[in-house]
Amino acid sequence: MKLTIRKIVARKILDSRGRPTIEVDVHVDDGKNTAFGRAAAPSGASKGKLEVVDFPRGGVDEAVEKAKRIAPKLAGIDAFDQRQVDEALREIDGTPNLSELGGNTTVAISMAVAKAAASIKKVPLFRYLGGDEVCELPFPLGNVIGGGKHAGGYAPDFQEYLVVAVGARRFSEASFTNALVHKKVGEMFSEANSSFTRGKSDEGAWSPNICNEGALEFLARACEAISDEVGFAVRPALDVAASSFYDSESGVYNYRREAVTRDRGEHLDFILELIEKFKLFFVEDPLHEEDFEGFAELTKKVGNKCLICGDDIFVTNVKRIETGIRLKAGNAIIIKPNQIGTLTDAFKALELAKRNNYLPVISHRSGETTDETIAHLAVAWRCPMIKTGVVGGERIAKLNELIRIEEELGDRARMSGLR
């Protein structure tokens, strides 16, 4: 039976930074019943240069107007055929970087179509997309200390100091363990410095006045303390977001917090030293977004003990991933559906990466909404990790949805393998 898209309602809503973003409702009917799916798009602060364009020139208002007019153009398509829907969205846009409609407009429609289809079948999205067999939960990768473009003042240059409870046996246990680490680090900062305001950055991570390595020392100590408390391994991780402090003109990394610059070799050695010293489980964007060779060098040196993950360098884009595979750059990849603009394209990126032994990590953006779609994608697409923060309403929207999914899977639920 064919599923017809009858109407698209679009609106401007707030994201977690109070900025406008787009939410859409897609209304469908299968000849007998009607249903609708709703999805909202997030937005980044440290975007990769080669991501699709998020909004058309007129911003969210133009995106909203354009989204409302798309339904008749999709009416001939079977909405159960996600690939066809997504191809049509690309065709309607007509540009390679989705600048006409905006990648946030297309991704919101794409996700809402899938949710509407799941709704009419009366199954949760993860089952609709993943089938009846899916039963693996991802490990949550949570942001504990924020710096770089997500913070300000004297926060570190590195963007995210992360935690992953690698020894947890259940998703809920892993999430609560991350929350314990977040709380512990807050207490440690307060004890160490009475002027610490308990201020937080964009993703609900603490935002202290501290140097890059100093922040890692606190995080590593908190991971050890909580690991002893819960009785399983809890490991520190990092998103360097190196492009955000790389000066492409002079070719050096500008460590503002420490008032030093490091050339490529010095920067790479520093990252290597931190991986070894703090036994980091995962390091994202350790080098700037064009340095495939640097990624390859680091992967060769430490890839057997640390995940070297690409975000800005791959931008969920098959062509960029192909280059990475050829050069052996990294062994993990961030998947952000709005970096590429449709579910189908994000899935293609993920499958290519998986086939080539890259560990996929589905991810939120720093500017989020309470949309919970990526929680379902993590399970449907068998992502071993989900990066979606530790605290804050827009972050726990995904974590709590995964707790519900874990409950629904019951005895069948198990954690993904991380290696």
Please identify which residue in 157, 202, 239, 406 interacts with Zn ion, judged by CB under 5 A: 239
Q: Catalytic one among 66, 115, 149, 336? A: 336
Please identify which residue in 16, 21, 46, 110 interacts with ligand PGA, judged by CB under 6 A: 46
365 binds, among ligand PGA, Zn ion, none (CB under 5 to 8 A by kind): ligand PGA
203 is catalytic: yes
* Torsion angle of the four alpha carbons 224, 229, 235, 240, in this order, in degrees rounded to the nearest 10: -70
44 binds, among ligand PGA, Zn ion, none (CB under 5 to 8 A by kind): ligand PGA
Both tokens of 196, joined, read 């610490």
Between residues 35 and 238, which has the closer beta carbon with respect to ligand PGA? 238
Residue 160 is assigned to a ligand binding site: yes
User: Nearest Cα to 393, choosing from 146, 155, 200?
Assistant: 200
415 lies in the site for ligand PGA, by CB under 6 A: no
Find the shortest distance in angstroms from Cβ 114 to ligand PGA.
Answer: 22
Between residues 230 and 333, which has the closer beta carbon with respect to Zn ion? 333
16 binds, among Zn ion, ligand PGA, none (CB under 5 to 8 A by kind): none
336 is catalytic: yes
Between residues 24 and 298, which has the closer beta carbon with respect to Zn ion? 298
Residue 336 is assigned to a ligand binding site: yes
Between residues 82 and 363, which has the closer beta carbon with respect to Zn ion? 363
Contact segment (CB under 5 A) with Zn ion among 186-194, 205-213, 214-222, 305-313 equals 305-313
The crossing angle, in degrees rounded to 10, of helices 103-120 and 59-68 is 40
365 lies in the site for ligand PGA, by CB under 6 A: yes
Cα–Cα dist 299/47, whole Å: 23
Q: Segment 239-298, which members bind ligand PGA (CB under 6 A)? A: 239, 241
311 lies in the site for Zn ion, by CB under 5 A: yes
Cα–Cα dist 363/413, whole Å: 21
User: Nearest Cα to 386, choosing from 141, 167, 175?
Assistant: 141
Residue nearest to ligand PGA (CB): 44
47 lies in the site for ligand PGA, by CB under 6 A: yes
The 221-250 contact track toward ligand PGA, x by CB under 6 A, reads ------------------x-x---------
Between residues 88 and 111, which has the closer beta carbon with respect to ligand PGA? 111
366 lies in the site for ligand PGA, by CB under 6 A: yes
Find the shortest distance in angstroms from Cβ 219 to ligand PGA.
Answer: 17
Residue 246 phi/psi, 5° resolution?
A: -95, 130
174 binds, among Zn ion, ligand PGA, none (CB under 5 to 8 A by kind): none
Residue 266 is assigned to a ligand binding site: no
331 binds, among ligand PGA, Zn ion, none (CB under 5 to 8 A by kind): none
Residue 365 is assigned to a ligand binding site: yes
User: Nearest Cα to 288, choosing from 103, 96, 45, 46?
Assistant: 46
List the binding residues for Mg(2+). Answer: 239, 284, 311
Q: Which residues are annotated as a binding site for substrate?
A: 150, 160, 284, 311, 363-366, 387
Instruction: List contacts with ligand PGA (CB under 6 A).
Output: 44-47, 159, 239, 241, 311, 363, 365-366
Active site residues: 203, 336
- Summarize the annotated binding site for (2R)-2-phosphoglycerate as residue ranges: 159, 336, 365-366, 387
Q: Which positions make up the binding site? A: 150, 159-160, 239, 284, 311, 336, 363-366, 387
Binding site for Zn ion (CB under 5 A): 239, 284, 311
